[in-house]
Structure 1
Amino acid sequence: MERINLFRYKRPVLRFSSFLILTLALIAPVLAMRFTLDFYKRSVIDSIYASHGRIAEKYRIGRAPSLTGIIATLDSINNQLVQTSKRLQAQIDVLENHIKSFNDRMQPLHKILETLKKTDQNWIVLKQLIFGDSVRIDLYELYDPAIIRTADRLEKALLELGYKVSKNEEYDALMQFLGRRICSVSVEGRR
């Protein structure tokens, strides 16, 4: 038969074994989570070290699971890389400005040389070319009178570039055997 206690004012009593079982039931998930997270952290660090071992060795990052130390090391490396990036960007900006100013200075020379290119109709011999703040070009030209002279095209190109142009012709003579003219021209442009 069952023993039933019908006493009304009975106090519930917790046995020591029940207390230990309940305590273990509450502490076991916490310990399991802690060990799981520690194992996961170690495995992630090992996989990072395995895939990026050379970088870790270069910057002296160990396999120690001290997360705060690794974060501090990575922050210092990141700051170094940011400073290096800023320094390199400043050097790139200086080089870009230099190339742009060089291109701006050489653009008139390019246009002048394009104008002086030999054509089938007109032949030129460049006697002197001085290029700086001002431009001076001395040339001999053998040209067909029906076609625009290179000296005139050069004068027009210098005017388009913003130069004040003065042109001086030393001589302009007809060559009877070719039906062409020969001239010596000096073109000077100043800004």
Structure 2
Amino acid sequence: MLEGRRVSLGEMDDETLEELRSRITEYFETFYAELRRRLHDHELDLPHPLPEHLRGYRRVVSVLGKDGIVITHWPAPRDSFDFHISPDKTAAELVAEECAGERILEYPPGSDFGTCELDEPLRLTVGDQVVWTSPWTRLEVSSRLDAWSDPDRARKTAEAVIASIKH
């Protein structure tokens, strides 16, 4: 039901919302299981200490806006998954709220902007000085309902994260 569809909150019924919540949860359960497995398998090959943003458990918070979904990953004592709806805000506005007010996502209103991700905390700098670091460890946003539907893609994303820290 989600494949190939753009986010349009006004057109979604309760069944579609539940399917979306379920798929996002399954995707990130798969992602973190694979990430932890690969971290354990490659423990001796990885830089030590392991980057802080890859350690521990996560609270994965999905917020469905009127034209997109924003997912943030927060350090937590155990993995958990929250799903919220913000019907009056665009994905760009939701992302700006998570990025110290910076509008880092720009797109024409109503457009299909695809999927974007930040796979580590955002750091805002002035000159050479970091003036703000996000409290979340990962941020993803998409205008596509099926962006987090494929568990195989979750495994490949985890593999890519491991590959990025090995280099």
Both proteins in one fold, TM over 0.5: no
The normalised TM-score by structure 1 is: 0.21
Structure with larger RCO (C-alpha < 8 A, sep 6+):
2
- The structure whose residues are more often helix, as a share, is 1
